[in-house]
Amino acid sequence: MKTPTRLYPSARIIFHPEVSTCPVCGGSLMLVNTLLWDKTVQTLAGVQAVASRPARCADPQCAGATMRLRSLAGQQVAVPYTTYGYDVVVRIGWHRQTRCATYAEIHADLTPQIPIAESQVRHLYQHVYLPLLACHERQHRERLTQAVEQHGGLGIALDGLAPEGGEPQLWCIRELLTGVVLRCGWLSRQDQAAFEGFLQPLRDLSWPIRVIVSDKQRGLVPAIATVLPSVPHPFCQSHYLRNLADPLAEADSALTVTLRQAVRRSLGPLLLRDQPPEPSHPGVLTVTGLLAPSPLVPAAITTPPENLTPDVVTPVATRTTPTTTTTPPLSTPTPELPTPAVRPVAEPAAVPPAGRADPDAQVAAAIVTQMLRRTRYLLTIKGRPPLRLAGMELVAGLEELIARGQRWLTHRENPQLAHLVRGLEDAVNQVAPTAAVIQTGATWMAQIRAILAPAPETAPTAAQVAQQLQGRRSARSWRPHRKRLPRPRRWPSSCKSAATSSIRT
């Protein structure tokens, strides 16, 4: 058997009743020669020996003579039948509720101040703090009364946390206007009988209920109709709006797939022509440092083939001609590399100086390259339905590219640009009827979102901001010009130790 820890209190306090008159007859009180309770209490401030001496009416004929009036301050030191103060219980609850700390972490925090076991920490939280928290929630009846007077009734919300299979489910009944929890409990079953028993106390409330909001559980809907038949019962907005948007999201996803296939079918060779070169070492994208060249720049290729233009240079990985020079190992110094012929990833290839280059042709090639890259980016867009639809963003982006391409073609003819614009037009025209229907649904969802969004706060005007700044400026105490600050009477210990160490060195 483990020897109990012996505590040595630093002080002894005996509490007496704060009242001096009998609540029955109004006569004087006299102290009883016995202690109501006497125990040693551990608090965060130290160990105390605390006792309570009650009082009774001095008149033996009064009914108050049999009463034992106790001290209110003494009852606030510790929970009955425990030796830990309320401050310890509150500290445990604060760590658990606010910091989401584990029992081991709470025990490690309390051990330097009081001797306590981890099992005792768990007991104080589950059997002391949680009941006190539930009793505290029952003191908000005045808030509920004010909400009823202001709004004409209560708004009730029911929701539960879905646990793992086979485990009880936590359900909560909360008042929407005040946030007060009316009832909370674990339900082992989610059928109509269980919900009726859980909702039965709502029928006995002294306040009227205007509305009750919940999800559309199979057993909950008939239970609410049975317990509260006259109360309106709408469903949760986020759930039914999400279910309402499911067909829209599915149609948008199908449109996105169809449009991507149409674009790749019309412009596949043109989109693949401007791909960045593949690295010589699979999986290695970039190598920096002094010992090895970048895998994007093979040392064997110094000049492009003469029969290929810079816009159609074949990627390194697709060439069939074997190379004789390999990348030097890391242990050997890297030789000075010639100017690479493969163009970088971020910029289009430059036209080789074969005679005199046409500046208009270079501008046209750059425009086509940027439009191709923009098209490839649009084909990879992923939405977040129901508020962001990838298909609608893809259609809008392609229509913008078509408008820009048509505007540029009015200034200068370019075969590649014309082919790109025609391919995009054909792809967009294939899904135009479906896109119009989905766009109507997306407009409805945007309007619903605007209605349900909270009202934005009105931005302050310039005059209001100036008035606030002027008030803060006048509230500050400004020192006179060239007035020295008072010298500190004593330097901080950190500064003194730093100065002493510097003098010694």
Residue 422 φ/ψ region, left for φ over 0, alpha for ψ in the -120 to 50 degree band, beta for the rest: alpha
Percent of the chain whose pLDDT exceeds 70 = 74
Residue 487 has pLDDT above 80, yes or no: no
Amino acid letter for position 332: T
Angstrom distance (rounded) from CA 372 to CA 401? 10
Rounded average pLDDT over 15-27: 90
Confidence (pLDDT) at 285: 57
Structure tokens given for 210: 């205007």
Residue 163 has pLDDT above 70, yes or no: no
Q: Check: CB of residue 343 under 8 Å from CB of residue 315.
A: no
Helix H, strand E, coil C: the string for 340-365 is CCCCCCCCCCCCCCCCCCCHHHHHHH
Angstrom distance (rounded) from CA 211 to CA 230? 10
Q: Check: CB of residue 192 under 8 Å from CB of residue 223.
A: yes
Least confident of 80-84, 108-112, 274-278: 274-278
Residue 309 has pLDDT above 60, yes or no: no
Q: Which of 221-230, 342-351, 381-390 has the highest mean pLDDT?
A: 221-230
Residue 495 has pLDDT above 70, yes or no: no
Residue 425 has pLDDT above 90, yes or no: yes
Q: What pTM did the predictor assign?
A: 0.43
Residue 278 has pLDDT above 80, yes or no: no
Least confident of 117-121, 172-176, 249-253, 466-470: 466-470
Structure tokens given for 191: 């059928």
Q: Which of 257-266, 300-309, 329-338, 453-462 has the highest mean pLDDT?
A: 257-266
Residue 357 has pLDDT above 80, yes or no: no
Residue 21 has pLDDT above 70, yes or no: yes
Confidence (pLDDT) at 455: 67
Percent of the chain whose pLDDT exceeds 90 = 30
Categorize the per-residue pLDDT at 165 as very low, low, confident or very high, splitting at 50, 70 and 90.
Answer: low
> How open is the CA angle 212-231-226, to the nearest 5 degrees?
95
481 vs 246 pLDDT, higher one: 246
Rounded average pLDDT over 106-134: 91
Angstrom distance (rounded) from CA 352 to CA 312? 13
Containing 148, the helix (H) or strand (E) segment is helix 141-151
How far CA 337 is from CA of 319, 328, 505, in Å, comes to 21, 12, 55
Angstrom distance (rounded) from CA 49 to CA 57? 27
Rounded average pLDDT over 166-188: 86
Angstrom distance (rounded) from CA 412 to CA 367? 12
Residue 485 has pLDDT above 90, yes or no: no
Confidence (pLDDT) at 287: 58
Categorize the per-residue pLDDT at 105 as very low, low, confident or very high, splitting at 50, 70 and 90.
Answer: very high
Confidence (pLDDT) at 332: 38
Rounded average pLDDT over 149-164: 85
Chain segment 56-74, per-residue pLDDT in tens: 999 988 988 888 999 988 8
Categorize the per-residue pLDDT at 279 as very low, low, confident or very high, splitting at 50, 70 and 90.
Answer: low
Beta strands 55-57 and 29-31 are antiparallel
Rounded average pLDDT over 264-274: 82
Confidence (pLDDT) at 280: 60
Residue 501 has pLDDT above 80, yes or no: no
